[in-house]
Amino acid sequence: MQDETIVQVEHLRKVYGPVVAVDDVSFEVRKGEIFGMVGPNGAGKTTTIECIEGLREPDRGRVEVLGLDPQRDEYALSERIGVQLQESALHDRIKVWEALDLFAAFYSRSIDWGPLLEQLGLAEKRGALFGKLSGDQKQGLFIALSLVNDPELVFLDELTTGLDPRARHAMWDLVRGIRDRGKTVFLTTHFMEEAERLRDRVAIMDDGNIVALDSPENLIRSLGAETRVVFTVEESFEREWLTGLTGVERVERIGERVVAYGRGSELVGSVVSGLTSNGVDFHDLRTEQPNLEDVFLALTGREMET
């Protein structure tokens, strides 16, 4: 990955009346990465992204995108970025191909959108009216529209909200595809899992501020949280010896359920081989890794509401 900065935000602040949407936010996005901004609804993600896109004027702070000022160079910038808005629509009676042709005509440079539609699984919906598309298909069309000018930087705001899990996974593949074609992706989401899967780097936002910014791995590691190995056993099972295994720090038992807590990569292996070599009849073994939800909880003291 290159370290060239493509978006630079310094001390961004935006207030709506008495509500501080974005308090004081600074960060940068590097060329070629997927930058995720994650946090609960109302954390200020959309306001931040819209200030960067040039759709909103910041009250304070400096924003630079592709070397341009989004307020002063609004039109020059919009040629070079792709935007998918959280709330947006097209005319209900416009056809898919008409919308794509129309948007392609807005830009001085545009790509052949046929393959794009193919990739989004919308090829057979070319002639369909926008109003007749399902939520997933509309979202797909908005993605296509955001890519029609072959942008250097793509903004995806709440990309998968309202999509079913399968469509969500397909969308994730697509976003990785966008990055793999050399573009930079800036996305916001309130799904921690999405941020964890997609991200190169994640900014966790809460209450108008960024509370953490790093790769998900580093964020989770910095938490120092334990991995859990959970399994069920017979009533007669004695748990004490488990504590002696490599990597296991402590063991809890609730009825038939046993939870071994520990750190490091040996934990799972040593628990499983310990159980097997002792001839224990165990079921439903699974591991629970700490995830970004735990990071959010640790940083804010609150659960992420989803």
Q: Which residues bind another protein (CB under 8 A)?
A: 53, 55, 75, 78-79, 83, 85, 87-94, 103, 106-108, 145
78 or 137: CB nearest another protein? 78
Min. distance of Cβ 143 from another protein in angstroms?
A: 13
Q: Is the Cβ of residue 151 or residue 216 nearer to another protein in the bound state?
A: 151
Residue 228: closest CA among 288, 165, 142, 297:
288
Q: How far is the CB of 56 from another protein (least distance, A)?
A: 10
Name the minimum Å distance from CB 170 to another protein.
23
Identity of the residue, 53 or 294, whose beta carbon is nearer to another protein in the bound complex:
53
Toward another protein, which CB reaches closer, 145 or 167? 145
**Cα of 153 vs its chain's centroid, Å:** 16
Dihedral angle sign, alpha carbons of residues 180, 181, 183, 189: negative
CB nearer to another protein: give 129 or 259: 129
Ramachandran class of 124: left when φ > 0, alpha when ψ lies in -120 to 50, beta otherwise? alpha
Is 22 within 8 Å of 14 (Cβ atoms)? yes
Q: Which is nearer to another protein, 74 or 234 (CB)?
A: 74
Buried b / exposed e along 148-166 (16+ C-beta atoms within 10 A) = bbebbbbbbbbbbbebeee
CB of 106 to another protein, least distance (A): 4
Write the CA distances from 73 to 52, 70, 139, 239, 283, integer angstroms: 12, 5, 28, 66, 62
Strand order in the sheet with 227-232: 248-254, 257-262, 227-232, 283-288
By C-beta, is 155 or 231 nearer to another protein? 155
What distance in Å separates the CA atoms of residue 36 and residue 216, rounded to the nearest whole number?
A: 10
Q: Is 283 helix (H, G, I), strand (E, B) or coil?
A: strand
Shortest gap between Cβ of 3 and another protein (angstroms)?
Answer: 28
The total number of residues written for the chain in this structure: 306
- Smallest gap, in angstroms, from Cβ of residue 154 to another protein? 12
Q: Using CB atoms within 10 Å of the CB of residue 45, give its burial: 0 to 12 exposed, 13 to 18 middle, 19+ buried.
A: buried
Shortest Å distance, C-beta 130 to another protein: 10
